[in-house]
């Protein structure tokens, strides 16, 4: 069974730009969650989507948004990038409680 895939794996952007990251969950999983991982803050929850609806949201500014499509694939968007947005962005898919993570997208903001 294929795991969670994320594209792209690496991104370099400049301040003020926007970025879209993509996540394809494990087949049959309808819940997709997004996390930001930084050396200082560790893993922090961004939001969760289930059946195309945002079910839960973490404490991040409105510049961070997401959506889920009918095939459960999900995208997250970050607008007006700031230097502090440099991080590893992880997507996790789940069927029940257990969440399985993808390899992440490494975003660097210059």
Site string for another protein, 28-67 (x = CB under 8 A): ---x-x-x------xxxx--x-x----xx-x---------
Location of structure tokens 């930001």: 36
3-state secondary structure of 108: strand
Q: C-beta of 40: minimal distance to another protein in Å?
A: 9
- CB of 44 closer than 8 Å to CB of 35: yes
CB nearer to another protein: pick between 4 and 81: 4
CB nearer to another protein: pick between 20 and 44: 44
Neighbours of 51 (CB within 10 A): 10
Cβ-based neighbours of 14, under 8 Å, separated by 6 or more: 81, 109, 110
Q: Which residues bind another protein (CB under 8 A)?
A: 4, 31, 33, 35, 42-45, 48, 50, 55-56, 58, 90, 92, 94, 97-104, 106
């Amino acid at each position: 069974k294929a795991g969670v895939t994320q594209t792209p794996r690496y991104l370099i952007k400049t301040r003020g730009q926007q970025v879209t990251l993509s996540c394809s969950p494990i087949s049959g999983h309808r819940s997709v969650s997004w996390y930001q991982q930084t050396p200082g803050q560790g893993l922090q929850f961004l939001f969760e989507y289930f059946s195309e609806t945002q079910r839960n949201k973490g404490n991040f500014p409105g510049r961070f948004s997401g959506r889920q499509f009918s095939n459960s694939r999900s995208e997250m968007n970050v607008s007006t990038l700031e230097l502090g947005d440099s991080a590893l962005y992880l997507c996790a898919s789940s069927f029940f409680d257990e969440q399985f993570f993808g390899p992440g997208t490494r975003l660097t903001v210059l």
